[in-house]
Amino acid sequence: MNYDLIVIGGGPAGYVGAIRAAQLGKKVACVENDRAGGTCLNWGCIPTKALLKNAELYHTLTHRADEFGLKISGLEYDWSKVIGRSRGVSDKLNKGIEFLFKKNKVDYLKGTGSIPAAGKVEVTAADGKKETHEAANILITTGAKTRPMPGFPFNGTTVIGSKEAMTLAKQPKSIIVIGAGAIGIEFAYFFNAYGTKVTVVEMMPDILPVEDTEVSKTVEKSLTKAGIRILTNTKVTGTSEDGKGVKITVEGAANETLEAEVALVAIGVAPVLPGGMELKLSDRGWLQTDARYQTNVKGIYGAGDIIGPPWLAHVASYEAVQAVEGMFTKHTPKKVDVFPGCTYCHPQVASIGLTERAAKEKGLKYKVGKFPYQASGKALAAGEPEGFVKIIYGEPHGEIIGAHMVGSECTEMVAEIGLAMNLEATWDEIEATIHAHPTLSEMVKEATEVAKGHPIHV
């Protein structure tokens, strides 16, 4: 069949791009070899949040019930149901994506897509049957997969990636998490909440290395208090597994051999490229695209994780829409500049824009407004006094340079900062906006008053 656009990959970039093109009146097909929704919906963002909500609830009932005046005895959990609930959430959303394809008249082609030549997509079904389709435009959104450690391959049982971590049939008694980015820290929190002995190994000076240093230190302190052993400035120098467990030799802040039932490798991701034509790649193997998201071959585009960092679902969706609108309208595509990043451990982490250390490195003049959760009436009422809201404003105009939050539901609050930055609002507009009381979001206004030098509540 002939299409205006064929999208290869049905994740947050692929299905969004396909639907947007269909809304523009184009004939569109989306090729996916696993499940509609991609890694995020099926094996990442969504199911992990279901697991983390379970963990937070269980931890609250087992460790903080008395604080809320609750008396609970004999509380137990069913591991299979914990995992099953997570899978159920993904299943519902997966069917929802398929419904959206039908609603928007997007042809859903199940199979593995490759590009034998410009304007052609070959789809190989699970049974080996092949079909070739033609398209004026091809959008590659094949994403990325967990990067293995050299010499320590995944086996699905004792050495696992994030996908296997959320479907383990049996809870491990001990686990070593290699890598303390968002994925590593979220799983460290999850397993610890259920009593698994957790050790985190990170070669950088801080966990969550891309976050503001104050945020990283706060989360590390909280997780350490919860019983997680965290080894920063520590490098893995040796690995082995015997089918029953793993041994990890480390050097740095600690020089020892760690042992556990399972090792979760969370050191980053690698690109998943479609077969067929050779396209220009970056030094690290990511698909190279220009300002219009087009590759070095006319008519072939890329968006989402496959074109490199940041590897975030919301960024991927944005890029796909930009690419599609650039193909079929007079719209000039935009590259991603400012975007939020979130980590859903407890306390949560949310950030946007420059960290304070980055602002210093750039030699910018700025003021910092910081407001603690423990001074928030809503946070105290909810029993969530841990964390802070930190906003960095440029001088002398008061533009927002960055914002960094750690605490309950801060992943919801960061959207206000993103909107303000997109509208080029300054501290004057933030301060002049009446925020409802009592809410967590009013801490944005409170932090702004701190930055301006006239705080009311701290």
DSSP letters, 348-370, are: -EEEEE--HHHHHHTT--EEEEE
299 labelled as ligand-binding?
no
The SS3 call for residue 246 is: strand
268 labelled as ligand-binding?
yes
179 labelled as ligand-binding?
yes
Q: What gap in Å lies between CA 348 and CA 288, rounded to an integer?
A: 33
446 labelled as ligand-binding?
no
Helix residue spans in 329-423 (DSSP H): 356-361, 377-381, 410-422
202 labelled as ligand-binding?
yes
Place of tokens 């049982």: 157
Tell me the residue type at 431: E
Q: What gap in Å lies between CA 209 and CA 300, rounded to an integer?
A: 34
305 labelled as ligand-binding?
yes
Q: How far is CA 357 from CA 338, 353, 354, 405, in A?
A: 17, 12, 8, 15
Active-site residue, 435 included: no
Contacts of 72 (CB under 8 A, 6+ apart): 61, 62, 65
181 labelled as ligand-binding?
yes
25 labelled as ligand-binding?
no
Q: What gap in Å lies between CA 19 and CA 300, rounded to an integer?
A: 18
49 labelled as ligand-binding?
yes
Q: What gap in Å lies between CA 388 and CA 403, rounded to an integer?
A: 11
Q: What gap in Å lies between CA 310 and CA 69, rounded to an integer?
A: 43
* Inter-residue contact 118 to 297 (CB < 8 Å): yes
Tokens of 9: 């990959």
Phi and psi dihedrals of 181, rounded to 5?
-80, -165
Of the candidates 63, 331, 397, 437, the residue annotated as catalytic is 437
431 labelled as ligand-binding?
no
182 labelled as ligand-binding?
yes
CA 276 to chain centre: 29
The binding site consists of 49, 113, 179-186, 202, 268, 305
The binding site for NAD(+) consists of 179-186, 202, 268, 305
Task: Write out the catalytic residue numbers.
Answer: 437
